[in-house]
């Protein structure tokens, strides 16, 4: 899997918040995305996920421009995820239902995922009543469960306790042969987890060492 970014700009109300002349991202790698608040990190990931249109330039995935079809393999977990107004279990199984995965198999995969992230106890809880950390874990499970080729995580461990952070990092490291991009404000975590670092500042990529 290879993501190519070509003279991409994102402009909000006459203000350019992201400007990336040329960048190629290739697997299998965990990319860290770092930079100050407002640097354009979330915007960057949303563009790659196809959730925001680029104002200029183009992004391609495996040689094809982003489209409804190509973004099926790319998923974005927001820094404040929206969970559906249904149970935790039903949230996590949702992407499998969208893909018409047979019910038995889907069930097994959801159970496995909940066990992996240690959220079995939340199984039947209403997802809209969870704590911030619980919400992030459920959103992560919902993204991991369909094994996307490209996983875009926006500060996924911001509200998580340190034991669970270690757990999540192990899970992410286990995504063999897949690409992960991970926004983080934690320098140690980036050093621990990421193979490469993209440093954004004021919408531009810095080439200096992080």
Partner 1 sequence: MTYFLDSFKEAISLLTTFDQEVYGIIVLSLFVSFSSTVVATLIGVPSGLALGLNEFRGKAMLTRIIYTMMSLPTVVVGLTVAILLSRRGAFGSLELLYTPAAMVIAQTVLVTPIITGIVFNASKANGEEVKRVCKTLGGNSRDVIWLLVAELKINLLIAVVTGFGRAISEVGAVMIVGGNIKYHTRVMTTYIAMNNGMGNYSKALAMGLVLLLISFIVNTVLYHFGMEASDDH
Ligand X SMILES: Nc1ncnc2c1ncn2[C@@H]1O[C@H](COP(=O)(O)OP(=O)(O)OP(=O)(O)O)[C@@H](O)[C@H]1O
Residue 70 or 79 having the CB closest to ligand X: 79
State the Cα torsion 88-141-146-151 to the nearest 10°: 140
Q: How far is the CB of 80 from ligand X (least distance, A)?
A: 10
Footprint on residues 1-60 left by ligand X (CB under 6 A): 12-13, 17, 35, 37-43
Residue 19 or 42 having the CB closest to ligand X: 42
Neighbouring CB atoms inside 10 A of 56's CB total 12
Q: How far is the CB of 79 from ligand X (least distance, A)?
A: 6
- Token reading at 22: 């040329």
Residue 33 or 119 having the CB closest to Mg ion: 33
Residue 139 or 190 having the CB closest to partner 1: 139
CA atoms of 181 and 179, how far apart (whole Å): 7
Q: How far is the CB of 144 from ligand X (least distance, A)?
A: 22
Residue 52 or 111 having the CB closest to partner 1: 52
Footprint on residues 39-58 left by Mg ion (CB under 5 A): 42
Q: How far is the CB of 42 from partner 1 (least distance, A)?
A: 12
Residues in the site for partner 1, rule: CB under 8 A? 49-51, 68, 71-72, 74-76, 78, 82, 84-87, 94-95, 98-99, 124-126, 129, 142-143, 146
As a residue count, the chain comes to 210
C-alpha dist (Å) from residue 204 to 35, 94, 100, 183: 10, 36, 40, 15
CA atoms of 23 and 204, how far apart (whole Å): 12
Q: Which does 39 bind (CB under 5 to 8 A by kind): ligand X, partner 1, Mg ion, none?
A: ligand X
Which contacts qualify for 60-65: CB closer than 8 Å, 24 or more apart?
60/3, 60/4, 60/6, 61/1, 61/2, 61/3, 61/150, 62/1, 62/2, 63/2, 63/4
CA atoms within 13 A on the CB side of 98: 12
Q: How far is the CB of 208 from partner 1 (least distance, A)?
A: 32
Q: How far is the CB of 176 from Mg ion (least distance, A)?
A: 28
Any alpha helices (H) in the chain, and if so which ranges? 41-48, 88-98, 103-116, 132-144, 162-173, 187-193
- Contact residues: Mg ion, CB under 5 A: 42
Q: Where on the chain is the footprint of ligand X (CB under 6 A)?
A: 12-13, 17, 35, 37-43, 79
């Amino acid at each position: 899997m290879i993501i190519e970014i070509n003279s991409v700009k994102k402009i909000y109300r006459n203000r350019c918040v992201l400007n990336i002349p040329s960048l190629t991202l290739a697997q299998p790698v965990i990319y860290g995305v770092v930079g100050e608040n407002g640097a354009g990190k979330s915007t960057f990931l949303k563009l790659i996920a196809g959730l925001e249109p680029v104002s200029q330039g183009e992004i391609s995935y495996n040689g094809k421009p982003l489209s409804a079809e190509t973004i099926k393999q790319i998923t974005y977990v927001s820094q404040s995820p929206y969970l559906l107004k249904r149970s935790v279990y039903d949230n996590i199984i949702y992407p499998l239902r969208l893909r018409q995965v047979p019910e038995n198999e889907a069930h097994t995969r959801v159970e496995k995922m909940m066990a992996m992230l240690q959220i079995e106890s939340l199984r039947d809880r209403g997802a809209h009543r969870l704590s911030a950390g619980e919400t992030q874990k459920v959103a992560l499970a919902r993204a991991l469960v369909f094994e996307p080729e490209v996983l875009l995580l926006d500060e996924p461990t911001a509200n998580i306790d340190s034991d669970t952070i270690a757990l999540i990092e192990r899970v992410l490291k286990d995504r063999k042969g897949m690409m992960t991009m991970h926004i983080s404000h934690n320098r140690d975590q980036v050093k621990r987890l990421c193979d490469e670092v993209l440093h954004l500042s004021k919408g531009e990529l810095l080439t200096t060492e992080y």
